[in-house]
Amino acid sequence: MKMIAASAKIHPLSVIEDGAVVGENVVVGPFCHVGPKVVLHEGVELLTHVVVTGRTVIGRGTRIFANAVIGGDPQSLHHDGAETTLTVGEMCTFREGVTINTGTTEGGGKTVVGNHNLLLANSHVAHDCILGDHIVMSNNVMLAGHVKVEDRVILGGGSAVHQFTRIGRQAFIGGLSAVSYDVIPYGMLNGNPGILGGLNVVGMARAGMEKPAIHEVRRAFKQIFEGEGSVRANAAAIRDDYTGSVAVMQILDFISAESDRALSSPNRGKG
C-alpha cells in the first residue's frame, strides 16, 4: 500500500510502487519510478525520468534532475544480494545522470550522503561511501566504493577517487585528478597521479578563517611534509605545539587515524 501525502503532486505518467512513502509537498514529474522501499521526505522533487529504488531515504527538500538513478544495487562482485541501504540528507541537489548505489554487506551495508551537497551531471557515488555536508562534486566525478569525503570538499570535474580513500574536510581536488591516497583536511591535490600541492588557502579564507590561523596551518604543513622524519612521525612530534589550533588538530587527527590507504604528499607520485 502506498503512503502518499495529500499535498504531494504526482504526475500521472510516473510510477509509485506499493510500499513507497511520499511526504508532504513532494513533487514527482513525468516518467519517474519510485520503488516500494523508498521514502521521500517533505519537499523532495524528482523532475523527470528519475529512478529512486532500493531501500533508500531521501531527505527534505532534495532535488533530483533527469536520468538520475538513486539507490541502485552496488556494482560490486562481492555483493551477496542482501538488502542494504542508501540515506540522503536534506537540501541536496543531484543533477542530470547522477548515480548513487546502496551499500554492501561486507562494507557495513549502507551508503550515506549528508546535507546540502551538490552533485553535478554524471557524477557517481559507489557503494559504502560516506559523504559529509556541503560537498561539491563537479561533472563526471567518480567515487569508488568505501570512500569517505568530509565536509565542504570540492572535487573538480572528471576527478576519480580510489576505493577506501579518505578526503579530509575542505580539501580541494583539481579537475581530472587521480586520487589514489588519502588527502589531508584543507589539502589541495592535482594531477595524475595526484600530488598534494599545498593547502586550499582560498577556501580557508572564504570559510572565514582568519590570516593568523591560516599561517598556523601553513607552518604546520611545512613541518609535517618537509621535516626529517616520516609524515606520521613529524605530525606526532608537533601535536603539543598546536593544541590551540582547531584546523591543525584536524589535520593531525586525520593523519594519525587508521586507514587502508597511504597519505598523499608533495612527493608521492613524482618520478
Active site residues: 127-128, 145
Residue type, 164: F
Task: Judge whether 241 and 219 are in contact, CB under 8 Å.
Answer: no
Place of cell 613541518: 223
Cα(92)–Cα(147) distance, integer angstroms? 19
First to last CA, the chain: 61
Residues 6+ apart with CB under 8 A from 67: 49, 50, 96, 97
Q: Per DSSP, what are the bridge partners of residue 64? A: 46, 94
Q: How many Å is the maximal CA-CA distance in the chain?
A: 67
For residue 222, give the C-alpha cell: 611545512
For residue 199, give the C-alpha cell: 593547502
Place of cell 588519502: 182
Place of cell 592535482: 190
Cis peptide bond prior to 193, omega within 30° of 0: yes
For residue 21, the tally of other CB atoms under 10 A from its CB is 18
Place of cell 509537498: 25
Cα(93)–Cα(123) distance, integer angstroms? 12
Residues 6+ apart with CB under 8 A from 221: 198, 199, 251
